[in-house]
Amino acid sequence: MTGDFIMTLVISGKAADLEQEPEVAVEGEIREFVRRDGANLRRTPEMDSELVANNISTLLQRVAGSSVQEIDRLIAELQTLRDLLHEEGARVQREIAEYAHLSQSAMQSTKIIAESLGKWKGTGEWAPAPRTAPR
């Protein structure tokens, strides 16, 4: 060997001749780096957005699922209360009708008694017994 040899530098899988100007070698390496990373960066937002969308979707499903369950529970409770109110309303209506009937019967009885007393008073058949003074 005579001492003349050419060194090669392997950068990015390509052989680069060291006899090239260093600026040219660095620029080529920068271009290759940008090309590789640019491709990765272009893919990453899509993958990131899909990941974010999946995370948001999962979160919304959990929140919506528990919210829907809570709403279903509240609807069932409100339906139970509505049925109870209907039953109580019917009971109150029955009691009012019974009270009205009882009140009407009491008024008729009072009227009959008042008429009978009026007849006895007018004919003199009913008179209080005389009182005797205590000794």
Distance between CA 61 and CA 74 in Å, rounded? 19
Identify the domain containing residue 51 by its residue range: 18-113
On whether residue 133 sits in a domain, the answer given is no
Q: What is the CA radius of gyration of the chain?
A: 53
CA 27 to chain centre: 60
On whether residue 125 sits in a domain, the answer given is no
Q: What is the pLDDT of residues 34-64, one digit of tens each?
A: 777 666 555 555 666 777 777 878 877 877 7
| Encoded tokens for 92 | 């109150």
CB 41 within 8 A of CB 35: no
Amino acid 54 reads N
Distance between CA 112 and CA 87 in Å, rounded? 38
- Identify the H or E element spanning 41: helix 22-123
Chain length of the chain: 135
Q: What is the pLDDT of residues 114-135, one digit of tens each?
A: 998 888 877 765 555 667 766 5
On whether residue 5 sits in a domain, the answer given is no
On whether residue 43 sits in a domain, the answer given is yes
On whether residue 45 sits in a domain, the answer given is yes
On whether residue 122 sits in a domain, the answer given is no
CB 117 within 8 A of CB 110: no
Q: What is the pLDDT of residues 4-32, one digit of tens each?
A: 544 444 444 454 454 557 677 777 777 77
User: What confidence score (pLDDT) does residue 133 get?
Assistant: 63
On whether residue 128 sits in a domain, the answer given is no
CB 13 within 8 A of CB 6: no
What is the tally of structural domains in the chain?
1
More confident residue, 20 or 86: 86
Distance between CA 108 and CA 103 in Å, rounded? 9
Closest CA to 16 of 28, 5, 4: 28
On whether residue 101 sits in a domain, the answer given is yes
